[in-house]
Amino acid sequence: MAAPHSVSPPSGEDDALLRAAKVVAREEAMARRARADAAGAGQALAAHVLRDAPPPSGAVVAGFWPMGHEIDIRPLMRALEARGHRLCLPRTPKRGLPLDFRAFAFGDELVKGPVGTRQPAEDAPPCVPDWLIVPLLAFDRAGRRLGYGGGYYDRTLAGLPGAGTLGVAYACQEMDVVPSGPHDAPLGAVATEAGVMWFRKGSSG
């Protein structure tokens, strides 16, 4: 007969299984992303978002400074700045804390953050975004998202329940099912170089 915990595993075991599934999914997602064709992708993504899923007029938009093989969202951020949106970028805090957003305009100086990120200087003015462009390693059609494992965006979105959320990625970063737990904040929409997908009515705006 099966041991009781094999029917209803204790949460510690669930957590370990989920973490392990995420490690595998991250490796797969990074390998796929590294093969994506970057040429023109950031411009295509910007055009889709501006036409099909723009932030509400006047929204304060959180972007991020792309690194490594991430899709280039700078064309989108520049276009949103030109439309009059105030922009901000995250500073990465200590583990366990939400992201610390600071005002940003193109031309402002950025400094080095952890793991290859670039972020506003410590004295840049604090900023509370109401529409966030969210980096990710993998997404699925239910709006689940996998990040680098810091939990930073999950904690940040938990503290901004009314904010619009637009995940951004290459189309090849879609997975059938992204491993996900109770802390994982779902996305309102995802934009790729191929177009925009919505997951929950109204939540991308």
User: For binding to ligand FFO (CB under 6 A), which residues are involved?
Assistant: 64-67, 70, 90, 92, 95, 99, 114-115, 117, 135, 147-148, 150, 152-153
Interface with ligand ATP: number of residues (CB under 6 A): 14
CA separation for the pair 198, 72 (Å, rounded) = 21
Q: Are 174 and 199 in contact (CB under 8 A)?
A: no
Q: Among residues 116 and 149, whose Cβ is nearest to ligand ATP?
A: 149
Q: Where are the alpha helices (DSSP H) in the chain?
A: 4-7, 11-34, 41-52, 74-82, 152-158
Of 161-190, binders to ligand ATP (CB under 6 A) are 183-184
Residue 143 contacts ligand ATP per CB under 6 A: no
Give me the least distance between CB of 39 and ligand FFO, in Å please: 19
Identify what 80 binds: ligand ATP, ligand FFO, none; CB under 5 to 8 Å per kind.
Answer: none
Q: How many residues does the chain have?
A: 205
DSSP, res 132: E
Q: Among residues 54 and 99, whose Cβ is nearest to ligand ATP?
A: 99
Query: What b/e string do you get for 28-47 counting C-beta neighbours within 10 Å, with b at 16 or more?
Result: ebeebbeebeeeebbebbbb
Give me the least distance between CB of 40 and ligand ATP, in Å please: 26
Of the candidates 202, 97, 115, which has an alpha carbon nearest to the alpha carbon of residue 154?
97
What residues line the site for ligand ATP (CB under 6 A)?
Answer: 22, 146-155, 158, 183-184
